[in-house]
Structure 1
Amino acid sequence: MVSRLVIAAPSSGQGKTTVATGLMAALRARGLEVAPFKVGPDYIDPGYHGLATGRPGRNLDPFLCGEERIGALFAHGAAGADVAVIEGVMGLFDGRLGTGGFGSTAHVARLLDAPVVLVIDARHTSRSVGAVALGMARFDPRVRVAGVILNQVGSVRHAAEARAAVEEVGLPVLGVLPKALDIEAPSRHLGLVPVAERDDSRVAAMGDVVAAHVDVAALLAVAAAAPALDVVAWDPAREVSPPSDRRPVVAVAGGRAFTFRYPETDELLAAAGCRVVEFDPLVDSALPAGTAGLWLGGGFPEVYAGELAANEALMTEIRESVAGGLPTIAECAGLLYLCRSLDGRPMVGAVEADAAMGPRLTMGYRVAVSDRPTLLGRTGEEVTGHEFHRTTVTLAGAAKSAWLLDGRADGVAGENLHASYLHVHWAGHPQVAQRFADAVHRYPALGAGEGLSRWHDSTRTRALTRPDFDVESCHLLKPNPPPGPEPDLLHHGDRDLAPGLIDLAVNVRVPTTPAWLAEEIFGDIDLAAYPDPTPARDALAAHHGVDPAMVLPVAGAAEAFTLIARALPGDALIVHPQFTEPEAALRAAGRDPRRHVLSRDTGFRLIPSQVPAGELTIVGNPTNPTGVLHRADDLAALPAATLVVDEAFMDAVPGEPETLIAPSMPGRLVLRSLTKTWGLAGLRIGYVVGDPALIERLAAQQPPWSVSTPAIRAAMACTSARATAEAARLADEAVVAREDLAVRLTDVGVAVVPGRAPFVLADTTALSASSLRGPLAERGFAVRRGETFPGLGPTWLRFAVRTPDVHRRLATALAELGGHP
């Protein structure tokens, strides 16, 4: 059984999250595989844990899941880890009121036979810290307190006094954190800001602080002293089963507005034969293709009500789909989204109710009872859950409730819809997951009946109002804009640079190569021997969890596209607007590729049914220059014998949710670049991952020693644990920076394409009928011109994401050019 320890405290606000998250990050920086856990129902802390460890943050809650499942769920979440860190909840002995501490951190520590390390805030005390530690250690002899970490210590003398007091009562002090470190994550009305939308999680800083001020080796020794647990790991396949041989899609809301979801939810759905596909209600204009079930979890829709309301196309589709019988679950934030309005802004309208922020926080464990059969419940059946919100929902009419929460009616429910404030951990109630999966599997069979056909009819009606829609083929007749001047396919952003200009044209994400990386590449390098790419190939394969035969290191994407143009003959199709290098390589090889140009009307989103078939299809994801992140399912649905996906910017998308890299990739190739993230444009290093047979054909065209020794060392360094953690941090920072740039551009009247890349494509037509590239250069900014991309014109500009100060100055310059005050 994995080594483990619990980070606890005498009360909330002592610094548990900072220490636990920082310890996770520090252990991962040492090369350890860390399994993160959180006691209680909290969703937000596990997000930070996941960022620190690269593994899903999981909850251990005896009330939600049953104390008999805690050991099994722990074993499941800790599989393959070297050490597990469990962050407690509230004070060590604080559990559900009136139960003697049931569900407390101490309760979970006993169930896991795990040692406890106390974090004590020493700001307003000194020797009394010893008394607090002694009382916590002796209150329940079944709980083993193994040491203390002092937090918020004001001086050396303060630290010495507090340390002496703790050691006098027989407990070791395992760390001392000075105060005013400014590493806590930001908060708002329901606690910490979730990882997906924070200004700065500061996870890396937390890790650095813990590594500097805490005896990490001593904590590892504490964790290693935990005895073995005699438990069988929880397995979702033992809890649920597929009701058919279909693999229906369950669309699951994600993004900044919907961040609350237990990982076991996805795992149970997958075990029940469903394909979980995440979509973002803030930016996606449609549900995933083939959606047969909808899951809307918790989050903060009240913070993003304006953006949600602006996405009318998606809300219309959801409203009509729910009315047409689509099995739908909505928890808390999902309930608010389905209402007619939220704080006066229009929402989906699938539930006849209005929601608004309220004066008080509603929070606590609940026992829910079904008073009749519904999508999830059965008459008289009890389910445990958790309620956590500061909003109220006013129902119109006499809708039938979803649950009775401790006797109080909550939400609405029927045969296909279950919308409630209650958060339910499905691992504790797998019958709920099975019932939803059963409904999802049945839903496609309604295609000839009333449910699905109603949705098809409404969609067809909307389509018929478009003059460019062909009824028989169900395709847009004119998805592409009229042809314009032939773009310069050889143009690159560096050609737009000039001395003295701020570089917004080139997408290299760091101003210089990190010093540690330069040392890894060039320190003690031997350039006398011919380069051997095998170590780079093996490191890249291990990084992605694929066979080394599926990996080919290359001298940047330019070489990869040249190899593809030479090695993979046949009819070629390029999906534009797209980085022009693949088309340029094909034309240099004497080939004449076709173009499929995505439409601005659909937000440059990929619609597989509109893409012509091809022997070789090339597309970017996220696409350069639009920044649009296509769904992996949509890419997989393209009618191509060989599909090439340029994922040069995928590592800038936190979690890389839509990557096509997988242990098996028949007929597929994915291109990756290391130059953008790490400032290695002058070194030229990238790689291809894919079908081994295709990789072999590319390798046969590759010149000997095309990948240099420095490039090989760069590939190895960029896949290290340190690089992986830093890349994740850079990706998270890029999300915040991109949002800042997009908002500033929108505020001055520039139309921005919603995307997930570290650059923004924008149409400046509202400011000027001609290109603003020259006028911006006169004001000190180099930008990437849009007319060099097929499908775009001169009013389109691509801006690389930089700092808020640069964004502000750019927005000011654009406002002046557009005549704004």
Structure 2
Amino acid sequence: MTATALPRVLIAAPASSQGKTTVAIGLMAALRASGRSVAGFKVGPDYIDPGYHALACGRAGRNLDPYLCGPERIAPLFAHGALHPEPADISVVEGVMGMFDGKLGAWPDGTDDPAGFGSSAHIARLLDAPVLLVVDGSHSARTAAALCHGLASYDPRIHVAGVILNRVMGARVVDEITRGCARVGLPVLGALPKSTRVAVGSRHLGLVTADEQGDAIGIVQQAGELVAAHLDLDAIATIAGGAPDLAVDPWDPAAEVEPVPGRPVIAMASGPAFTFRYTETAELLEAAGCRVTAFDPLTARGLPADVSGLYLGGGFPEEHAEALAGNTSLGAEIASRVSEGLPTVAECAGLLYLCRSLDGLAMAGVVDADSSMTPRLTIGYHHARAANDSFLMRAGERYRAHEFHRTTLDTPPYDRDPGPQRLGDQRLAWDVETPTGGNRPEGVLVAPTPGSAPSVHASYQHLHWAGSPVLAQRFARAASEYGHTGHHSPRPAATTPGDALSAAPDLTHHGDRDVLPGLVDLAVNVRDVRPPAWLVERIVASSDQWAHYPDQREATRAVALRHGVNPDQVLLTAGSSEAFSLIAHGFSPRWAVVVHPQFTEPEVALRNAGRPVGRLVLHASDGFQFDHELLDPRADMVVIGNPTNPTGVLHSAASLRALCRPGRVVVVDEAFMDAVPGEPESLIGARMDGLLVTRSFTKTWSVPGLRIGYVVGDPALIRVLAHEQPCWPISTPALVTARECSTPRAVEQATSDARQAAQDRRHLVARLAGIGIQTVGEARAPFVLVDLRAHPPGGLRAGLRTLGFTVRSGESFPGLGAGWLRLAVRHPDISDAFVAALARTIDALDTAQHPMRPPQGDIR
């Protein structure tokens, strides 16, 4: 072991959000721009900052985590990164949280050290690195100097070499802090003004990654320019050069593993959705004889050629779920390869991608569970014990792990006693130790066939393989064995007729896009081909008012009278689309939940307004029934349809009122409630605290071209929406429609039409049942949802079009898919003709798929 000169500094701060990342990235970029070679490091398990370090330094960013890797490996790992691929002139280590903040509680050996285990101070001590303190100077002057003095003197084993001020408001403040620091022997190395140019976006798990930040390179460059203009780079380089030589042998991945035969190819997920992976993971696999090939699951149509192992690291798949779901060819190949036994490691984001679905969008379908975003953050270090044997671990082995996510799996995808699942056996991966001394089950092992050895290890646990190189060795060995068996060529994945999820629901798709000239329209729920004659007469008679600006007051009073509420509870809107847009922009929910399957416009509006949106997906096995206890109690906005489009299910008013609580806005879309005789379960009434109910005249009165609807609700909430609404949003003909369709005569006609539609619906349901086609639940709307998942979905709509009918399928509804049809209720004669056409189409498709099966005969 020889002592090596490794110039270095560590950037620390009194607390989070002081500016460590800005200073660290800017300092790396500025030093590199000055002609020095720079190596960047991050204290702790953070994956995001090293991505920016890599851009700033032009070489891989690395993590220094004594909990995951062991304190004894920190200096060797640092030396490896500082010297590889070439020696750096200076290394910059970005700290974590406050300077002495680390893992909560006592150290692993039971001691009570001044610094938290894994803290910036702990790493500074392990590396004997001089510390530069970053202090936010926007809210104090000489007090900042006292704070620096306290940090510098708290642990005499740590050398605080200087101070960098951030977000200072002026030269006088800088002078005050500088004089205060001079009193305690701390030089101020520069002061950064508050800058809006250097801004990295943020999200639910921290900063936006470098792979996703649209101008990440520009941000790094601006940070470098800011630092170069305001900090003394030469003084910082002198401090770094004064660090003692480090007597340590650099970590060598080749010394940790042995090469396996065959040079197996490991496909490692990368790109915006899979940015979280430690640099040393690939280095260990390469040292073990593998060839690591990066691929982006957002764009790659298949796995790399001759793949023998798959590594799906962490990241933000929830931000890219639709693109991942849309890449069906890759998901199908992964499912097929897993069924062959392809060794696969999936951490956090990888686990979500292997699930059946993520927020209602279809994923690869390897793990028999659905996943979704929640407002709850799960974070922390812990020990995890392997619960079962797999290619990666042996039962009973203990590993140090880190967990960091806001998603959850709906049901455990494993059995402790292995049993048949949708794809082979699915078994428990981990028993994770809890702070109270117990264990919780987590993660899943997937075996390709019942009773075989698991070849997939998927869980939320992040492990640093430099701390457990045996994992790389075992993965490489499994990949080598897989490659040796000849499993190289991709095979198409078998389709599952019962698959209930679409690849990537197009939330902006509406039924009118499916309508073609000359076809019978069962796709759009407009009741008739034209408005009633008396309504057209009233609208035309109002033409003498069209030269004046519209006045909503009379129509608003008519709608209020129709529902027995006060006018201040009513806001007329240009259709439901405007209502949902007003709601999305008028309120700022911390966590909005949309109950699916349902009309997609509310979610589109919320997402377009930048609101955080989660989904609660109801299931066909439960008849798409809603239970308010399924909802996360922290949701402060809930959107649900009643009766729901496209299922037709009518939820009880009691179950929806149970959603109401202080601080929560409940939005109920009752667009089809006037098509239910008597309008049972409507929530419109005199007391609507926290409630907003949207209604529409469009479907019942066949006026989608006029764009007229309304919201009824809590007067305080209505005022918020009215404030968001522009002047004169509704035309005079639309206001006349609202007034005339709210009269007692119109309500009576709507009720009569609803009773007739109910009879027509019962006729359609019976005819469908006659050919073995089931609807789900008891539909109460002027449409039914048909379950055709047992039949080949491909070509169904095309076949019906050739027979004269256009229908709406379920691809655009989260939680459904191509195996579902939503059918508008029409006259019984039309329903009879359609059912006959549907029977012919299904028979033709089934015969094409099973050519030896005899035809089923005519349907009468």
Q: TM-score if structure 2 supplies the norm length?
A: 0.52
Provide the C-alpha distance between the structure 2 equivalents of 1:401 and 1:457, rounded to a whole number of angstroms. 28
Q: Say whether residues 1:84 and 2:91 are aligned partners.
A: yes
Letter in 2 for 1:83: I
- Report the equivalent of 2:280: 264
Following superposition, the deviation at residue 324 of structure 1 comes to 1.1
Query: 2:9, 2:432 → 1: CA distance?
Result: 35
Q: Tell me the equivalent position of 1:234.
A: 251
- Does residue 204 of the first structure (1) align with residue 221 of the second (2)? yes
Which residue does 2:430 correspond to in 1? 403
What residue is the counterpart of 1:143 in the other structure?
Answer: 158
95, 100, 104: which one aligns with 1:93: 100
1:531 alignment counterpart: none
Tell me, yes or no, if structure 1 residue 334 matches structure 2 residue 361: no
Structure 2 residue 28 is matched with structure 1 residue 24: yes
Give 1:181 shift.
4.0
The match for 2:456 is 417
How far apart in 2 are the matches of 1:344 and 1:4?
Answer: 48
Correspondence for 2:648: none
- The match for 1:431 is 470
Gap change, CA 1:461 and 1:209, over 3 Å in 2: closer
Residues 307-456 of structure 1 correspond to what in structure 2 (within 5 A)? 307-394=323-410, 395-396=412-413, 398=415, 399-406=426-433, 407-414=439-446, 415-447=454-486, 452=487
Deviation at 1:460, TM superposition (A): 11
Q: Aligned with 1:255: secondary structure?
A: coil
The amino acid of 1:149's aligned partner reads I
Per the alignment, do residues 457 and 282 of structure 1 end up closer, same or farther by CA in structure 2, a change over 3 Å counting?
A: closer
How far apart, in 1, do the equivalents of 2:460 and 2:207 lie? 20
The structural deviation recorded for 1:160 is 1.4
Q: Which position in structure 2 is the counterpart of 1:57?
A: 61
> 1:185, 1:200 within 8 Å by CA — same for their partners in 2?
no
What displacement does 1:132 show? 0.3
Is residue 174 of structure 1 aligned with residue 189 of structure 2? yes
Contact 2:132–2:160 (8 Å) recurs in 1: yes
> In the alignment, does 2:269 pair up with 1:253?
yes
> Does residue 70 in structure 1 map to residue 74 in structure 2?
yes
| Unaligned ranges ≥5, structure 1 | 463-821
Partner Cα separation in structure 2 for residue 461 and residue 370 of structure 1:
33
Q: Deviations over 1:451-507 (max 9, x none)?
A: x39x76647999xxxxxxxxxxxxxxxxxxxxxxxxxxxxxxxxxxxxxxxxxxxxx
**1:200: how far off?**
2.5
Query: How much does 1:396 deviate?
Result: 4.3
Displacement of 1:409? 1.1
How many angstroms does 1:199 deviate by? 2.6
SS of residue paired to 2:428: coil
Aligned amino acid, residue 311 of structure 2: W
State the one-letter code of the partner of 1:110.
Answer: R
CA contact (8 A) 2:77 2:251 kept: yes
AA of the residue aligned to 2:318: E
Based on CA coordinates, which of the two structures has the bigger radius of gyration? 2
CA contact (8 A) 1:375 1:413 kept: no
1:186 and 1:199 in contact (8 A); partners too = no
Whole-angstrom CA distance in 2 between matches of 1:282 and 1:372 = 32
Cα offset, 1:402, TM superposition: 1.4
Identify unmatched segments of 5+ residues in structure 2. 107-112, 416-425, 434-438, 447-453, 497-860
Measure how far apart 1:368 and its partner are.
1.0
Residue 429 of structure 1 and its aligned partner are, at CA, apart by: 0.4
* 1:118 paired residue number: 133
User: Which amino acid in 2 is paired with 1:242?
Assistant: P
Contact 1:371–1:403, Cα closer than 8 Å, also in 2: yes
| 8 Å contact from structure 1 (residues 50, 57) kept in 2 | yes
**Sequence identity percentage:** 57
Q: Give yes or no for contact 2:197–2:222 (8 Å, CA) kept in 1.
A: no
Aligned residue identity for 1:220 = A
1:184 deviates by 2.7
* CA pair 56-375 structure 1, distance change in 2 beyond 3 A: same
> 2 CA distance for matches of 1:456 and 1:278?
18
Which secondary structure does the structure 2 equivalent of 1:302 belong to?
A: helix
Asked if 1:152 corresponds to 2:184, the answer is: no
Q: For residue 106 of structure 1, what is the aligned residue in structure 2?
A: 121
Amino acid at match of 2:334: I
Q: Distance in 2 between matches of 1:59 and 1:217?
A: 26
C-alpha contact 1:5 1:222 (8 A) present in aligned 2: yes
CA distance in 1, matches of 2:307, 2:210: 27
After superposition, give the CA deviation of every residue in 1:253-303 in whole Å (9 maximum; x if it has no partner).
Answer: 111111011110000000011100111111110100000000000000000
One-letter code of the match for 2:199? E
Alignment CA distance shift 1:212-1:460 (3 Å) = same
Q: Write the distance in 1 (CA, Å) between the matches of 2:491 and 2:95.
A: 52
Tell me if structure 2 keeps the 8 A contact 1:46–1:57.
Answer: yes
1:631-780 equivalences in 2 (<5 Å) = none
Q: Deviations over 1:123-154 (max 9, x none)?
A: 11111001100100011000100010011100
Matched residue SS, 1:6: strand
**Residue 322 to residue 222, structure 1, CA distance change in 2 (3 Å):** same
Q: Which residue of 2 aligns with 1:478?
A: none
Task: Report the CA distance shift for 1:229/1:397 in structure 2 as closer, same or farther (over 3 A).
Answer: closer
Counterpart check, 1:38 vs 2:77: no
Asked if structure 2 preserves the Cα contact closer than 8 Å seen for 1:249 and 1:293, the reply is: yes
Q: Deviations over 1:613-650 (max 9, x none)?
A: xxxxxxxxxxxxxxxxxxxxxxxxxxxxxxxxxxxxxx
Q: Helix, strand or coil: the match of 1:273?
A: coil
Question: Which whole-Å CA distance do the structure 1 matches of 2:495 and 2:408 have between them?
Answer: 36
Residue in 1 that maps onto 2:318: 302
**Whole-angstrom distance in 1 between the partners of 2:197 and 2:176:** 24
Counterpart of 1:272, as a letter, is A
SS of 2:174's partner is helix
For 2:293, the equivalent position in structure 1 comes to 277
Write the letter of the residue equivalent to 1:274: C
Which runs of structure 2 are paired with 1:569-648 in the superposition (5 Å)? none
Q: Over residues 518-538 of structure 1, what are the superposed CA-to-partner deviations in whole Å (9 max), with x where a residue is unaligned?
A: xxxxxxxxxxxxxxxxxxxxx
Look up the SS of the partner of 2:133 in the other structure.
strand
Call closer, same or farther: CA 1:456–1:308 in 2, change over 3 Å: closer
Q: Structure 1 segments of 4 or more deviating over 4 A?
A: 455-462
* Letter in structure 2 aligned against 1:238: A
CA RMSD of aligned residues (A): 1.6
Deviation at 1:397, TM superposition (A): 5.6
Kept in 2, the 8 Å contact 1:115–1:144? The answer is yes
2:352 and 2:200 map into 1 onto residues whose CA distance is 26
CA contact (8 A) 2:333 2:492 kept: no
1:127 to 109, 131, 142: 142
**SS state at 1:402 partner:** strand
SS at the partner of 1:353? strand
| Amino acid aligned to 1:405 | V
> Residue 12 of structure 1 aligns to a residue in which SS?
coil
Distance 1:16 1:457 in 2: 49
Would you say how many aligned residue pairs link Structure 1 and Structure 2?
Answer: 456
Query: 1:379: how far off?
Result: 2.2
Name the SS for the 1:256 alignment partner: coil
Amino acid at match of 2:98: G
Deviations 1:646-675 (A, max 9, x none): xxxxxxxxxxxxxxxxxxxxxxxxxxxxxx
